[in-house]
Amino acid sequence: MNLPPVQLIRQTAPQPSVADVRAETLRAWRESKLATRIKPGMKIAVGCGSRGIKNFQLITQATIAALKELGAEPFVVAAMGSHGGATPDGQRSLLAHYGIDEASLGVKVVTDMDAVQVGVNSWGEPVWFDKNALAADGVVTVSRVKPHTDFRGDFESGILKMLVIGLGKRHGADQHHRYGVRGLKEMMPETAKVLVEKTPFLGGLAILENAREQTARLEVVDSSDLFAREPVLLKEAFSLLGRIPFKQLDVLIVGECGKNYSGAGIDPNVVGRLLIEAHPHLETNDPAITRLACLDISPDSDGNGTGIGIADLTTNRALKSIWSRPFEMNNLTARFLWRSKLPFAFGTDRECIETAVDTCWQPKLDRVRLAVVPNTLEVFDLWVTAPLLEDAKKVPGVELIGGMRELPFDTLGGLKQEELFPDSIRGRRKAKGGH
């Protein structure tokens, strides 16, 4: 079938950003309340997780430099719950993929999965903490603060979650996810209260990113200020979240899903689809999307296809890239199963996209409201059909680029994503010789 032509639009609203990330990281640590509590010779565990944080390696290097400057002896501990297949080698591989390794940082990186019970929370549940971190003189985290993909609360993704679930290892992750949304929204803060009291946790570096995936703010939050300060930072992070600038789409084509883009693979905050059992909707169900197709799973996910079920349609290639161990471990531990049901799959990108258009409930091809994005993290550039251009002209900070063109496919029916989005993560990966 024919597909409607598209045009590039770009969201150009000014975004706050940190000009010198290393210098700002050093300043945040040096001027923090926490710095006065670090004494020479203290062994400090630095918790690092499995998210694709912009400047992650640089920020971690600067954090370690700041701790050494204060006379401490830092080392890195994996703080990612059950990710990486819940194995030491899997978690070491994930960290190394983001440049968090001994060669780059000059300190030991510990990925043991051993956890110790340090107490009981107000729910009567045991509280777990990384054995190596517990043995340190102090613990800090390098944590991105952003809206969670599963729920709304005072504490979502950030320092507190990394403290409870990341450093709780598989025990902590499994325990809280057993209760579904309640375990995250209600029990997680109760567990954090125990950990602040019973462990050498000193605080964490909060990283906020803007809609263009740039570092927007760096702030060290002391453990004594955690419960008051993180909710404020979360509200700011929510205001910075990249969004699709339309209320309704007939078709959304997502080039790649992946854990490096969102903990849910495809960010529900961006596509308006929560897909959690017994919680069918987000508070704001924007945009309302009739048909969503996802063409690939990012290789940065190391075979974890979490979130592929948020899409209605995909490709055989995407499903074949899923590795059962990390995929099953992450989803069965998280206990959010709807999102990872396997969608209808097709042999080529073109067939997948054609089916999305054919089943989108808009039979008039010239009226189909279709948008293409590389992933749900990088949504500042979108290719859209003519009916969306009129809406785009009314949105502040949106610029129309070039003219209409056909979607580009190779001879095998593959969408040329790198041609559409040369500056995306996938485009940069291809330019470096990756796949």
Q: What is the pLDDT of residues 349-390, one digit of tens each?
A: 999 999 999 999 999 999 999 999 999 999 999 999 999 999
At residue 414, does pLDDT exceed 80? yes
At residue 89, does pLDDT exceed 60? yes
Question: Residue 82: which of 38, 50, 55, 110 has the closest Cα?
Answer: 50
Give the per-residue pLDDT at 262.
Answer: 85
* Local confidence band at 410 (pLDDT 50, 70, 90 cut-offs): very high
Q: How far apart are CA 143 and CA 208, in angstroms?
A: 9
At residue 228, does pLDDT exceed 70? yes
Q: Is the pTM of this model over 0.85?
A: no
Tokens read off for 80: 């990612």
Give the per-residue pLDDT at 31.
Answer: 97
At residue 149, does pLDDT exceed 90? no
| Alpha carbon of residue 178 to chain centroid | 21
Tell me the residue length of the chain. 435
Q: Is 89 helix (H, G, I), strand (E, B) or coil?
A: helix
Q: How far apart are CA 361 and CA 186, in angstroms?
A: 39
Q: How far apart are CA 63 and CA 107, in angstroms?
A: 12
Give the per-residue pLDDT at 281.
Answer: 58
At residue 87, does pLDDT exceed 70? yes
Helix (H) / strand (E) containing 235: helix 226-240
* Local confidence band at 111 (pLDDT 50, 70, 90 cut-offs): very high
C-alpha torsion 216→237→310→332, nearest 10: 100
Q: How far apart are CA 63 and CA 46, in angstroms?
A: 9
Tokens read off for 38: 């670090």
* Local confidence band at 435 (pLDDT 50, 70, 90 cut-offs): low
Q: How far apart are CA 87 and CA 89, in angstroms?
A: 5
Q: How far apart are CA 372 and CA 252, in angstroms?
A: 6
Give the per-residue pLDDT at 284.
Answer: 52
Give the per-residue pLDDT at 260.
Answer: 83
Q: Where are the domains of the chain?
A: 21-240, 243-431
Q: Is the dihedral of CA 407, 293, 153, 148 positive or negative?
A: negative
Residues 5-27 have a mean pLDDT of 95
Helix (H) / strand (E) containing 219: strand 215-222
Give the per-residue pLDDT at 282.
Answer: 52
Average pLDDT score, the chain: 93
CB contact at 8 A, 287 and 350: no
Give the per-residue pLDDT at 276.
Answer: 79
Residues 129-142 have a mean pLDDT of 98
Q: Would you give the DSSP letter of residue 169?
A: H
At residue 224, does pLDDT exceed 60? yes
Q: How far apart are CA 64 and CA 105, in angstroms?
A: 8
Question: Residue 386: which of 364, 414, 361, 408 has the closest Cα?
Answer: 364
Residues 38-66 have a mean pLDDT of 94
Question: Residue 421: which of 10, 1, 22, 2 has the closest Cα?
Answer: 10
pLDDT digits 0-9 by tens, 169-182: 999 998 998 898 89
Q: Which residues contact 4 (CB under 8 A, 6 or more apart)?
A: 357, 365, 366, 368, 370, 385, 386
Report residue 397: phi and psi, to 5°.
80, 20
Tokens read off for 98: 């983001």
137 burial type by CB count under 10 A (0-12 exposed, 13-18 middle, 19+ buried): middle
Instruction: Return the CATH architecture of domain 21-240.
Output: 3-Layer(aba) Sandwich (3.40)
Pairing type for strands 215-222 and 248-257 reads unpaired
CB contact at 8 A, 417 and 426: yes
CB contact at 8 A, 82 and 52: no
At residue 283, does pLDDT exceed 60? no
| Alpha carbon of residue 208 to chain centroid | 12
Helix (H) / strand (E) containing 58: helix 56-69
| Alpha carbon of residue 209 to chain centroid | 11
Give the per-residue pLDDT at 337.
Answer: 86
- Residue 85 Ramachandran class (φ > 0 left, ψ -120 to 50 alpha, else beta): left
301 burial type by CB count under 10 A (0-12 exposed, 13-18 middle, 19+ buried): buried
At residue 203, does pLDDT exceed 90? yes
Q: Which residues contact 123 (CB under 8 A, 6 or more apart)?
A: 187, 190
- Rounded to a whole number of angstroms, the CA Rg of the chain reads 22
Question: Residue 303: which of 257, 353, 253, 255 has the closest Cα?
Answer: 257
124 burial type by CB count under 10 A (0-12 exposed, 13-18 middle, 19+ buried): exposed
At residue 95, does pLDDT exceed 80? yes
Q: Would you give the DSSP letter of residue 241?
A: -
Residue 432's alpha-carbon distances to 97, 232, 375, 428, in angstroms, are 15, 39, 19, 6
Tokens read off for 29: 């640590």
Top mean pLDDT of 10-14, 74-78, 255-259, 337-341 is at 74-78
**What percent of the chain has a predicted confidence (pLDDT) above 70?**
98
